[in-house]
Structure 1
Amino acid sequence: MKIFGKKIGLTSQVFLAMILGAIFGLVIGEPMTKVGFIGTIWLNMIKMIVIPMVIVTIVTGIISQKDVKSLGRISVRIMSYYIITTLIAAAIGIIVATIVKPGNIASFTGLASKEIGTGTDVTIGDFFTSMFSSNMFNTFSEGNILQTLIIAILIGVAILRMKTESLKTTIINGFNALSEMVFSLIGMIMIVSPIGVFFLMADSFATYGAGIFTSMATLAGTYYLACIMQILLVYGGVLWFKAGINPIKFIKDSAELWVYTISTCSSVASIPVNIKVAKEKFGVPESISGFTVPLGSQMNYDGSVLLYGVVIVFISQVVGVPLSVGIMLKIILLSAIFSTGGGGIPGSGIVKLLVMVEAFGLPTEIVGIIAAFYRLFDMGTTTNNCLGDLAGTIFVSKLEEKSAKKATN
């Protein structure tokens, strides 16, 4: 799209659509609710590709890890770090949102409440049994995300265990091709996102009025509070105790990175900058950062996981459905597993957020509204993801230095 002879990027188009949709919704009012179905069609297009996306992202993520084992100690350390910090991020998002209660301030009058599928009296046995499907086709047709994840993991492991190399290579190439096709389709859906966002915003403002800004402001404020806690307490704590780096110094010295991530909202595009900062500001050799940073761009999604927890708790508060401890633990587990895959794919963040909300039986309409403001949240997710990659890289580098010293003594 061009305005006054200048090409407008997709992000700018979405922002413009958001503003125009809000204006049309407030000025025109009820008539805009009659065409809100166009935005719903866009959301349905996203839902349509959810199950295939889950399968291909998890399977290709597993089969792409077959060479990581050869990297030995560094691989184990960095992946352990990514897994642990991701689980902590999920917990922080839930805890912060539970304490701040942004959903109690938000107003979405008329939004129907939906029962959360898992009761508060679920047992450990029921929880684990529900993770495994007795019929994968029923799982796919019912849209059971957790069972689909388990099926995808089993398929990925089965492929790695295949004995006939020629057949194994054929299947791997097939899944890689399928993955490219699925994300090409997601890319097509994202191209028309300004249209979907316009009608979602127009419908939302015509229905809820200007009060929706307050709702989004409280959600965004809660999310960024969770991001700050993750950066200072988790990343800063790890670097302070294990590498002797002050958290404030870490934030200051990494400024070149987070300014870039806020501007681009792309973890993949930020890889060269992240490696540069790791080397020039923290003395990390490229032999380490060249592996850990790209791996983090595909595996480490602390910022996204923080958002999952905050949004799910937010929506549950909006519709007045409390979350039990068992469901919160399930949110932590599912968000940590599902956060991997699809790195650097435009729009994949909002797709995964919708899947997470849908997986817990909560209304997905609010995700459509969040989609219109997603750039505001995406700045935080990308920045948190990349700072997590950098902190993990520094952490592993310091451990390697200590290991090298012990070996020489």
Structure 2
Amino acid sequence: MVKIIKNTTIMTLIAMVLGAIFGIVFGETMGQFKFIGTIWLDCIKMIIIPLVLCMMITAIADQEDAISLGRISIRTLIYYLITTVLAAIIGIAVALLIKPGLGVSLEGLTAVEIQNPDELTIQSIITGLFSNNMFGSFSSGNVIQTLVIAIFLGIAILKMNNKENKEVVLKWFRSINDMISLYITMIIKLAPIGVFFLMADTFGLYGLSIFTSVAGFIGTFWVGIILLMLIVYGGSLWIFAKMNIFTFLKKSTPVWMFTLASCSSSASVPVVIKSAKEAFNIPDRIAKFGLTLGSQINSGGSAILYPAVLIYISQLYGMTFDLGTFIQMVIVATLLCTASGGVPGGGIVLMLVIVETFGMPVEVVGIIAGFYRFIDMGTTTSNVLGDLVGTICVSKWEERTLAKVKTEEIVEQA
């Protein structure tokens, strides 16, 4: 019993189950205690900006040289891009096969008002990646701008010629990293308490109302998430690491339990980095780089959601799409998922944007938004696990490349 109590992972799983039960039994009363879970989550979020800054800077500066950095960067970006495209295709396929919108009536369901950002274009999204005041970006909690700042500063440190000065700068950032890691370890030990109240609030708010007409769409979405995990992520792990997807899920249990409860990709960064290094033996320089970058640009779960929403709405209103439109869905969904990490409002806002882009009725988005927590659990979990899978694959890829280079050097010397 003592071992179970000391095992944060097991206690967090128990807290999730108990939280769901308490939420269903006591209903919205549990919402009065949500602030306890919110405080726990805020204690993690408050450290995200310095964490992203320090981890990305040290991850880049610790690379052997600019060539190594470029190789890892390109491989990481290629992997994330390919899996995002495949996720969008899965989203279209499951929606077409299951047809969640046929014969469904949404009458009587309340729509949530969504604030649409002004002039959200590709140009504004790209411009929003860059900061004109880095301290302003830090104070406003803009993670994507912080990430870009960290990349530039990391490259600058990597290219410093004065080794003594370079080591002084890096030593400072590494020291901050150590402090952040200890802080995160302290907060994660409180996870069972925070998770219990967050899950209790979620199920207390929705209860059994999830089993409504929207359930078909949510179920379809989760089928897509499962297929993404089994086919895309499972296939990647087998090809690059000879690892079974179920072995991966077992080893990454602390990660997906955290994401199911928190629904925050940024807040999960320290948890997933810890898992990457301890459970999968990924080198520190690759783990920090791939996972920090992935938390902002890799969104396989979201790529399933956006085209699935379009097809769901089309089925509700009896619309049909041609092949060209499906291709456009994949392209737009991929762009939104890889370039919109700094858009306020996250998934709900982007769901509205893609529906408006294709000129479809936006009222349904408001109704879906009322149940978004159950969708967000899936998008966040698959996004973060996708980051971890991608980092494992890139790590193995890099390992083989370095082994090949070393072998060639031995042959040349002989």
Fold conserved (TM > 0.5)? yes
State the identity %. Answer: 44
User: Aligned letter for 1:285?
Assistant: P
1:393 aligns with 2:391: yes
**Secondary structure of 1:339's partner?**
helix
- The question of whether the paired residues in 2 share the 8 Å contact of 1:74 and 1:396 is answered with yes
Partner of 1:204: none
Does the aligned pair in 2 maintain the 1:239–1:247 contact within 8 Å?
A: yes
In 2 relative to 1, CA 302–98 (structure 1 residues): closer, same or farther, beyond 3 Å? same
Aligned to 2:222: 224
2:128–2:342: 8 Å Cα contact kept in structure 1? no
Residue 173 of structure 2 corresponds to residue 173 of structure 1: no
- Residues in 2 aligned to 1:85 and 1:182: alpha-carbon distance in whole angstroms: 28
What is the CA–CA distance in structure 1 between the aligned matches of 2:288 and 2:372, rounded to whole Å? 30
Shift of 1:3: 7.2
Name the structure 1 match of 2:338. Answer: 340
How far 1:358 moved relative to its partner? 1.2
Q: Helix, strand or coil for the counterpart of 2:97?
A: helix
**2:351 corresponds to:** 353
Asked whether the equivalents of residues 11 and 375 of structure 1 are also in contact (C-alpha less than 8 Å), the reply is: no
Greater shift after overlay, 399-408 or 343-352?
A: 343-352
Query: How far off is 1:380 after superposition?
Result: 0.1
Contact 1:266 1:344 in 2 (8 A): no
Quick one: structure 1 residues 152 and 368, their matched pair in 2 at CA, closer, same or farther if it must change by over 3 Å?
Answer: closer
How far apart are residue 177 of structure 1 and its match?
Answer: 5.2
CA contact (8 A) 2:300 2:379 kept: yes
Give 3-state SS (helix, strand or coil) of 1:279's partner: helix
**What's the CA shift string for 1:368-397, capped at 9, x where partnerless?**
111110100000000000010000000001
Contact 1:239 1:395 in 2 (8 A): yes
Shift of 1:305: 1.2
Q: Tell me: CA distance 1:341–1:374, structure 2 relative to 1, closer, same or farther (3 Å).
A: same
Q: Give the TM-score normalised by the residue count of structure 1.
A: 0.62
Task: Give the gaps of 5 or more residues in structure 2.
Answer: 1-27, 39-56, 110-116, 144-204, 408-414
Aligned 1:135-150 pairs, distance under 5 A: 148-150=121-123
* AA matched with 2:229: I
- 1:90 and 1:306 in contact (8 A); partners too: yes
Taking only aligned residues, the RMSD between alpha carbons, in angstroms, comes to 3.6
CA distance in 2, matches of 1:285, 1:344: 28
Deviation for aligned residue 1:404? 1.4
- Kindly provide the CA deviation profile for residues 98-156 of structure 1, in whole angstroms up to 9, marking residues without a partner as x: 11100004213599xxxxxxxxxxxxxxxxxxxxxxxxxxxx99x6x6xx315755x68
> Which position in structure 2 is the counterpart of 1:270?
268
3-state DSSP class of the match of 1:104? Answer: coil
Q: Helix, strand or coil for the counterpart of 2:266?
A: coil
Shift of 1:212: 8.7
The equivalent residue for 1:290 is 288
Normalising by structure 2, report the TM-score.
Answer: 0.61
Structure 1 portions without partners, runs of 5+: 13-63, 112-139, 158-170, 185-200, 202-209
Distance 1:402 1:355 in 2: 42
State how many pairs are aligned: 285
Letter of the 1:303 counterpart: G
State the partner residue of 1:8. Answer: 34
2-structure distance, mates of 1:252, 1:178: 37
Contact persistence 1:243–1:395 (CA under 8 A)? yes
**Which of 246-255 and 223-232 deviates more?**
246-255
> Per-residue CA shift, 1:64-86, capped at 9, x if unaligned?
9xx89952100000010001101
Distance in 2 between the 1:259 and 1:211 partners? 23
Matches of 1:361 and 1:400 in 2, distance apart?
44
